[in-house]
Structure 1
Amino acid sequence: MTAVDFTGSARPVAVLANPSAGRGRHRGLLPTVVHRLAAGGHPVRVLDARTPAQARAVCRAAVDDGAAALVAVGGDGTVHLALQAVAGTPVPFAVVPAGTGNDFAGDTGFPADPLAAADAIAAALRHGRSHPIDLARATAADGTQRWYGAVLAAGIDAIINERANRMRWPRGPRRYDLAILVELSRLRPRRYTLRLDGVTYELDAVLVAVGNCASYGGGMRICPAADPTDGLLDVVVGGRFNRRTLLRVKSRIYPGTHVDHPLVRSFQARTVEVAAAGITSYADGERVAELPVTITAAPAAVRLLR
């Protein structure tokens, strides 16, 4: 923990809020969250953004203008957008969890209740308290880079996400459920090339996850040993699973005991290169890039207010 002197500063706290996060169940809380954040001693400014591109732009502008902090009010997708602006800068970051999946917030110690999280952030601002944690940086084949905080998926989970995002019907959660049924019916191991700190592995797998934190998908501890303060990435590989075995193992992902299955292998590395044909990776639930992708651990890349 390191103290940062925010006391007496008139710099605003910038807030990126997603009112549709968590299917809108916390939509009415934003005024109260803003009021509680103001107890940290700074003016609070809610950023105006209606699209992901606008969100990235206004967050970047707030950071460049010297915001006292950037706060994401929403789920992992909102966090992911905000991290693109704040990562690698001295501007502190915080999360008021208000999404369907709040994996980054939970794994990094923010209270699950949005108002309790706002109070904790305000207290950290008052006392000038922040904690450094690691992020991961994903680089696509064309050189495009993306920061992420939780987990990058590059297996059946990413394939399901990609199908669901291409579907125009049905709407809502049923679209994702249908994508699961379609892709499970077509489940087959894919050939992967993994390069972990320069050591190459050729293997067949249905699941590859690269975690800075432990969880994704709303509490599934896919990389249960991941620690966002150790300077390492955790890689979990699910090998030649058939449908029946994969469905049996799925319930073990929530507590993280799936890593004990004989078809699951775990690794740690500072740099991870993942290659396979026909797969688009997703990080923090957001589309990143087609494989191959190189992921690099970035120690102390962001400071959290909590």
Structure 2
Amino acid sequence: MLAVTADDHRPAGPVAVLANPSAGRGRHRDLLPRLLDGLAAAGRAVELLSARTPDEAEAACRAAVAGGAAALVAVGGDGTVHQALQAVAGTAVPFGPVPAGTGNDFAVDTGFPADPLAAVDVIAAALRERRSRPVDLARMTGPEGGDRWYGAVLAAGFDAIVNERANRMRWPRGPRRYDLAILVELARLRPRRYTLRLDGEEHHLDAVLVAIGNCASYGGGMRICPTADPTDGLLDVVVGGRFDRRTLMRVKPRIYAGTHVTHPLVRSYRARTVELSAEGITTYADGERSLALPVRITAVPGAVRLLR
């Protein structure tokens, strides 16, 4: 268990807040004024960042951190957290995720309450008491350089392929588009050939599922990397091998409990650095479209300080 640490050199600027009003299909939109009031009760000015797109959100977070924000808070799901992490990773600016999305895996897996108001209470108390806790992040680097960070899980198998299919589709709208993408990709299901280097040790694998976790969960509570610990300085790698359609559909529900790792076609590894390559795969990190393979992923201990 990490000790609570005090930070007496925190900037005197405001608490910057990135809020996604459409997160969780907007079910927490009306809570935002109460959440902002809860943060203001910590005795700091609160600045709500303005952004209309993910790129604008990321740029606004970077500007707030560079401008001396005392802390950064993200109100939304894993996508909103992902944008904010690009700004605070590797800095001394503390961060607070307020779970208000469809998937809140990073916030919940790092110990924040699932209820947004309760999470704000935790963050406000940490702000008042000037404390934060270091937590690991994963840093991704593509062949052309340019780092990206993620907090929860990188998907580089069937789930990433389904997301990529759904994002290319213009019909239908809403959750049915994702459901249709699953059906299309199940019909096309085949193992892909991966090269996996774990701290320099090379493995060649035929696989359908590949996940690299800093935390245990993705997709709103699916414990794909069930033993991942965001304070151990390691990445958990879970590989589902040559599944056919029927086996994949039987194993998939077991991911919620994390019991899929006992299946004979599933292998688990741990490493500080993971290099992954395969043809035609675009990865999804924290549920967000990320880098195309090949990619190098490194566990960075204490890369972010959480307000809890």
Which TM-score bucket, shorter chain as reference? over 0.9
Match of 2:36 among 34, 37, 40: 34
3-state secondary structure, aligned to 1:224: coil
After superposition, what is the alpha-carbon deviation per residue over 1:96-154, rounded to whole angstroms, capped at 9, x for unaligned?
A: 10000000011001111000111110001111111000000111122122100000000
3-state secondary structure, aligned to 2:154: strand
Question: Which residue pairs with 1:198 in the alignment?
Answer: 200
Question: Which residue pairs with 1:87 in the alignment?
Answer: 89
1:23 aligns with 2:18: no
Asked whether the equivalents of residues 12 and 69 of structure 2 are also in contact (C-alpha less than 8 Å), the reply is no
3-state secondary structure, aligned to 2:34: helix
Question: Which residue pairs with 2:251 in the alignment?
Answer: 249
Question: Which residue pairs with 2:280 in the alignment?
Answer: 278
Once the two structures are TM-superposed, the CA of residue 290 in structure 1 deviates from its matched residue by 1.1
Match of 1:224 among 226, 242, 245: 226
* TM-score, normalised by the number of residues in structure 2: 0.97
3-state secondary structure, aligned to 1:228: coil
Aligned length: 305
- Whole-Å Cα distance in 2 between the matches of residues 64 and 290 of structure 1? 29
Asked whether the equivalents of residues 6 and 126 of structure 1 are also in contact (C-alpha less than 8 Å), the reply is no
Question: Which residue pairs with 2:8 in the alignment?
Answer: 5
After superposition, what is the alpha-carbon deviation per residue over 1:141-172, rounded to whole angstroms, capped at 9, x for unaligned?
A: 22122100000000000000000000011111
Equivalences for 1:127-206 in 2 at 5 Å?
127-206=129-208
- Whole-Å Cα distance in 2 between the matches of residues 71 and 273 of structure 1? 31
Identity level (%): 78
3-state secondary structure, aligned to 2:222: coil
- Whole-Å Cα distance in 1 between the matches of residues 230 and 278 of structure 2? 26
Q: What RMSD, in angstroms, separates the aligned Cα atoms of the two structures?
A: 1.0
Q: Tell me, which stretches of 5 or more residues in structure 2 are unaligned? A: none
Runs ≥4 residues deviating over 3 A = none
**Amino acid paired to 2:18:** L
Distance 1:178 1:132, change over 3 A: same
Distance 1:6 1:74, change over 3 A: farther
Q: Tell me, which stretches of 5 or more residues in structure 1 are unaligned? A: none
- Whole-Å Cα distance in 2 between the matches of residues 29 and 259 of structure 1? 38
* TM-score, normalised by the number of residues in structure 1: 0.98
1:73 aligns with 2:75: yes
3-state secondary structure, aligned to 2:221: coil
Asked whether the equivalents of residues 6 and 125 of structure 1 are also in contact (C-alpha less than 8 Å), the reply is no
